[in-house]
Structure 1
């Protein structure tokens, strides 16, 4: 067995002036605050408060970072069925580019990959072991755009998605919901919450769901069971403990939307390939996926200044996957090679985040100092099989079957990963006008990847120091311009096809933006320009393998607004321009230059149609490229209507892709048709 070991201690490239400037801002602000501990508290108005960007609850319009949030009301209005549907009407986020996958959530943020978190703790997604948050169990979903290592450690350059679970409520409430729809959609869901004791110091919530639906390809399907209990306990006036648990089981036939450019964006003598064509083997393929998690959030006020916070989660994911997919054409114009893969194993992981938060106030300043230590541990043990040329099929008439793989053809893979992070951040607010932000983080990741297939063990320690900084001005008219800098660090414990060890991936971003949220208007508008650079980027080679091809850049402009035009009419609109380029300065695959969307909903409350609510939206995605191939732009429309009757009942219907538009969503070696029309009716009873 060959053993490859490399240890590195390196910093992300950054000019000395920026490093030392951020450092002095951080230390100076903290020192000034420590000298003023007995000042009075300053009240601030809020629009949307989130802890995703800073790990401290802060109004988004007063945060010198680009963060978007989708709340529970919007998730229900648009009847979001998969996590990657959440940000269809927000800027900077590309989703649906791989079609309607039924066992993975796909996002691109500012042209790059992102990491997914739930309740502020990392969700491990390694290879085909994908943790899938159930949207019905979420209170909201947030996206942090751009490098986010300063508070979260290992992170891709695009940013992170944070799914926030439903929590117990002080008031008794409940819901029973039934859904039916096309593609044999069936769903039954229950959500009940309230006080568990007479005094209300203990509160509970139980969320459960059963759902089944056919996939967007012929003979694919998925069935899901989901159960998420939670308990919140006010141990004392200064101490609170929240327990969060979930169990989810999926069983189905996977959707593999891989198709060739030949027959999709390119014409053939035999016509186009039907979008619902399945190159898999439904009688043999399967996706049995079980995920379980239990954890807690602990909060304790030591005094009027300091608060200790600790978040912990243990999770396990069991996967038994057999998946057949289109690989490459043979050149005869009619047949193509299929690939086949199998994964049979489990991931055990736990993560813990400990932090101290201190706040001091004077007549002119408000200072928040955050420092913490987090630790992540992951262990994967499984068997796998990969064949990129397993058999050959007719492109226009695939057989739907495959020769079974014998058990002795599977090889074992083990991945063990530990990451320790130390971080420090200071936010200083001066005269209710200026917000100064500075932070630094050190990460060390030990990763071991051992595979029987190529008899190579990768054993590495990769480390980095990440910096961040920002400044924002808060004007009386609600206009808040800002400038920020962020970095990211992502260890990679894999080998290339040649056996060479991949380098760690690093990203850095400058962003200049403005946020507008006047006190007289229920809403906000944000605009930002950004310049993001990633080193050691991955790309898909012509042979279908992953390779590192040096630097990748992304520059762009984003405009986003959510607000009420009248008391009854709400508008959500976004525009994104993104120019993402590879190491050779060519446009990167998948990423369109232009995206635009708008959603409006109108509530007829107080009129003759009281109880009726209607909504409609349009989504436009500009053309993208894959080498010499141009993927045309597309536009799809969505609509909804709901009616409340009897004070407790609500009937609703949602239609996505109203006209059943047939389009290719993107190409990157393979091409992917976009999701077909979806129609779902819901009936809810609230008590």
Structure 2
């Protein structure tokens, strides 16, 4: 087998065309549907868009993602489809092949081999997707449309995505409000203009029983209408007693291609999870098996019910002008009830205090983004310009419950049952409307120097109603953010870049200043032509200002905090030959609390930021011989340095190394059997603790999957 770098030389812009003036961003959001039927190609002609995501006249070759761990292009750096080598930012892409090779089951597992990304720092707390980028909470997006902070949100289903793009560093000009550490964009599986499919069954640790499928085909003979159906159904427990991890996920999509220049895709998905928020923690200073449960079996639930409808449209007008728009409507209901250890006694007794904590949330969200992109060449200068607008209407009802729970003797636990009621702590209604306009400009000089600029303004109007007191708080912000980058292509294989980027996110208090971030970054990228690989190195200096803290006297929020992180990220993804491939990463984070108001922690490290992180995954293919099919052997290791649990730096965990492994065997050309093991040696440490209870890292989990493709 031979390998060759995918050739995307077709990207250069059309030359010597008439200038087409870009409309204003309001026009971009309201382009009549009739215009989408225009085409330079013959109507009814065959459209062959196998696994391509078209955007701005360019495309992401998603089909290539299923064949390689090395992605070539991304939308994460500027919204426009761009070679990663030409992007003046640190971007990591986890392809569908890498996800399957490692057997990643959830978002945290998908991200845990990405440098700069820290996952799993809440241990056995299973409520949300927990991850930080470059020391800060990250915002998540799906197909470029905002989802929000994972903390407090829905645990996303990784099987729904073709790839996951990680943009590191401050950059609110790309997708919108975000923290300075970075953002994650999930790319949804879409229909293809070909017949394809897979089905699998999985069994494993903690009574896991799972089936899944993902298939599609053309509905019409001329490839103008295609469908895709994806599903996953799981019946399982977690690793501790009185737990469950059940899920029903179904997603269906239709793509209509009325002309060779137009795509309209509609995707509906339903996610239903029936899980638990956690084990309740373990008494501080003890060393119980992970299976021990100190919560309350009858008050330990985490439910999610979400329906999402997404519409994605793109059209090429010709002469370098393209239009695209994504829109999503979602309705979500979540709840959880939780009993947990609130404090561990220090007087020699064995009865730990506990608390009840509950939450019911209902959200409704409509978000739409539309843009025009114009590509033009002027002699030796290539220009790409993208202007767009976003509208986001979000409404949420949130009830939080909190109260004392009966203590529990950890030497002889006796459960008392679900409480008859838990006191209502807060009850709020939040209505938020966001409007934004943005501009992305890229200029390439003599195919060597690439200058990029991003400008964006967000207007965010928020109204929060206290449903207990009927008090209403309002907040209005208008925030302008910018970014600038310069890339120099030393050769066709090596590029260097320098960039500056800003970020902004509304504070939790409506009357205080938004939290703002900025980052300076230098980097180098190497993408050899001889074999699929990408090697990157970057250094950065980022600061988050106006961090919101609560005044201990007035209990009112104020923005007086500032945190600075200086760091280094190294990443390698390579398919060295037909048999060997690897992913490797290292991160160094020098984090400091610069300002903390009356907190007195200046000079300390912020909590949950390890100084060092490293990872390595190696995969070896042993080709089949005679009756024996191909065999794949994979092994990986993840190192996490010690980190503090609090800003006072009085509580911390030690460093750890966790080893994962995978083995797959090709039963025949279309059928394989895979065995995946996470935490192979069952390494045990405290991921989160110091506040009354300890939460261990996940223990060993083994799964076997029989998969058939066509």
The TM-score with structure 1 as length reference comes to: 0.87
Instruction: Indicate the larger mover: 591-600 or 132-141.
Output: 132-141
- 2:320 — aligned with what? 305
Q: Is the 8 A contact 2:138 2:150 kept in 1?
A: no
Instruction: Indicate the larger mover: 172-181 or 338-347.
Output: 338-347
Superposition pairs for residues 637-648 of structure 1, below 5 Å? 637-648=659-670
Superposition pairs for residues 547-626 of structure 1, below 5 Å? 550-582=561-593, 583=595, 584-605=602-623, 607=625, 610-626=629-645
- How far apart are 1:664 and its partner, in Å? 1.4
Q: 1:515 aligns with which of 520, 525, 544?
A: 525
The 3 A distance-change label for structure 1 pair 398 and 307 is farther
Q: 2:226 aligns with which of 180, 189, 203?
A: 203
Tell me if 1:249 matches 2:260.
Answer: no
2:85 is paired with a residue whose SS is helix
- 1:148 — aligned with what? 171
Tell me if 1:75 matches 2:99.
Answer: yes
Superposition pairs for residues 463-482 of structure 1, below 5 Å? 463-476=478-491, 478-482=493-497
Instruction: Indicate the larger mover: 316-325 or 544-553.
Output: 544-553
1:312 is paired with a residue whose SS is strand
- How far apart are 1:255 and its partner, in Å? 1.6
- 1:5 — aligned with what? none
Q: Is the 8 A contact 1:458 1:493 kept in 2?
A: no
Q: Is the 8 A contact 2:512 2:557 kept in 1?
A: no
- How far apart are 1:361 and its partner, in Å? 1.8
Tell me if 1:358 matches 2:374.
Answer: yes
d(CA) in 1 for partners of 2:366 and 2:176?
A: 15
d(CA) in 1 for partners of 2:418 and 2:624?
A: 64
The 3 A distance-change label for structure 1 pair 542 and 73 is farther
Residue-by-residue CA offset, 1:220-271 (whole Å, 9 max, x unaligned): 11210000001111122222101111001111332256456x31xxxxxxx4
2:578 is paired with a residue whose SS is coil
Instruction: Indicate the larger mover: 50-59 or 338-347.
Output: 338-347
Residue-by-residue CA offset, 1:441-495 (whole Å, 9 max, x unaligned): 1111111222245765321012211010000111225111100111111112437
- 1:392 — aligned with what? 407
Residue-by-residue CA offset, 1:556-587 (whole Å, 9 max, x unaligned): 00100000222210011100101222231201
d(CA) in 2 for partners of 1:89 and 1:463?
A: 37
The 3 A distance-change label for structure 1 pair 465 and 69 is same
The 3 A distance-change label for structure 1 pair 548 and 308 is same
Instruction: Indicate the larger mover: 74-83 or 541-550.
Output: 541-550
Tell me if 1:651 matches 2:669.
Answer: no
d(CA) in 2 for partners of 1:100 and 1:404?
A: 23
Instruction: Indicate the larger mover: 138-147 or 151-160.
Output: 151-160
1:534 is paired with a residue whose SS is strand
- How far apart are 1:108 and its partner, in Å? 0.6
Instruction: Indicate the larger mover: 438-447 or 537-546.
Output: 537-546
Residue-by-residue CA offset, 1:104-158 (whole Å, 9 max, x unaligned): 1111100000011111111145874x22321112111111111221122221222
The 3 A distance-change label for structure 1 pair 81 and 541 is farther
- How far apart are 1:180 and its partner, in Å? 0.2
- 1:664 — aligned with what? 686
Instruction: Indicate the larger mover: 162-171 or 665-674.
Output: 665-674
d(CA) in 1 for partners of 2:450 and 2:16?
A: 14
The 3 A distance-change label for structure 1 pair 630 and 385 is closer
- How far apart are 1:78 and its partner, in Å? 1.1
Tell me if 1:88 matches 2:112.
Answer: yes
d(CA) in 2 for partners of 1:414 and 1:377?
A: 14
Q: 1:380 aligns with which of 396, 399, 402?
A: 396
- 2:183 — aligned with what? 160
Q: Is the 8 A contact 1:458 1:494 kept in 2?
A: no
- 1:188 — aligned with what? 211
Instruction: Indicate the larger mover: 273-282 or 469-478.
Output: 273-282
Q: 1:66 aligns with which of 77, 81, 90?
A: 90
The 3 A distance-change label for structure 1 pair 477 and 300 is closer
- How far apart are 1:591 and its partner, in Å? 1.1
Unaligned runs of 5+ in 1: 1-31, 264-270, 496-500
- 2:443 — aligned with what? 428
d(CA) in 1 for partners of 2:422 and 2:585?
A: 50
Residue-by-residue CA offset, 1:366-418 (whole Å, 9 max, x unaligned): 2110111101111112433123x444333555434455143884753211111
Superposition pairs for residues 42-121 of structure 1, below 5 Å? 48-121=72-145
Tell me if 1:506 matches 2:516.
Answer: yes
d(CA) in 2 for partners of 1:653 and 1:458?
A: 53
d(CA) in 2 for partners of 1:486 and 1:559?
A: 20
Q: 2:464 aligns with which of 417, 439, 449?
A: 449
The 3 A distance-change label for structure 1 pair 377 and 475 is same
- How far apart are 1:667 and its partner, in Å? 4.3
The 3 A distance-change label for structure 1 pair 549 and 589 is farther
- How far apart are 1:172 and its partner, in Å? 0.4
2:561 is paired with a residue whose SS is coil
1:367 is paired with a residue whose SS is strand
1:651 is paired with a residue whose SS is strand
- 1:174 — aligned with what? 197
Tell me if 1:225 matches 2:255.
Answer: no
d(CA) in 1 for partners of 2:548 and 2:159?
A: 33
Q: Is the 8 A contact 1:67 1:142 kept in 2?
A: yes
d(CA) in 2 for partners of 1:397 and 1:478?
A: 64
What is the count of residue pairs matched by the alignment?
Answer: 639
The 3 A distance-change label for structure 1 pair 377 and 439 is same
* Aligned-residue RMSD, C-alpha: 2.9
d(CA) in 1 for partners of 2:59 and 2:104?
A: 33
Residue-by-residue CA offset, 1:418-454 (whole Å, 9 max, x unaligned): 1111111101111110110111111111112222457
d(CA) in 1 for partners of 2:433 and 2:150?
A: 14
- How far apart are 1:77 and its partner, in Å? 0.9
Q: Is the 8 A contact 2:60 2:74 kept in 1?
A: no
